[in-house]
Amino acid sequence: MHVRTGKKEAFILETKDLISATRKEEGCINYDLLANIEDENALVMLERWKDNDSLKKHLKTDQFLQFEVAIEPLLAKGVDIKSYSVDD
């Protein structure tokens, strides 16, 4: 995702509570915010879930829904979501 110029720190602050709460959710294996070293306004939320049901539950939590609203004015453009599945 791309944040507006000058809004990266505000975005990071908004993610801290979400990350902390999400890491405690059942089914969350990892949940991290990563920075792009080539584009200072580009960030990636890298998530790994036990199964698709756990992810679906996460997307309905109050903290996630509040996060979506809070970050909207900080984003330069819409969020690009990619999902991958790996069989063990």
Q: What is the pLDDT of residues 56-79, one digit of tens each?
A: 999 999 999 999 999 999 999 888
Q: Is residue 28 assigned to a domain?
A: yes
Question: Does pLDDT of 27 surpass 80?
Answer: yes
Count of domains observed in the chain: 1
Average pLDDT over every residue of 29-54: 95
Asked whether the predicted pLDDT for residue 80 surpasses 90, the reply is no
The residue with greater pLDDT, 86 or 19, is: 19
- CATH number, domain with residue 34: 3.30.70.100
Give the structural domain span for 38.
8-74
Q: How many angstroms separate the CA atoms of 44 and 33, rounded?
A: 6
> Average pLDDT for residues 40-68, to the nearest whole number?
95
For residue 6, the 8-state DSSP code is: T
Three-class secondary structure assignment of 21-82: HHCCCCCEEEEEEEECCCCCCEEEEEEEECCHHHHHHHCCCHHHHHHHHHHHHHECCCCCCC
Residue 3 lies in a domain: no
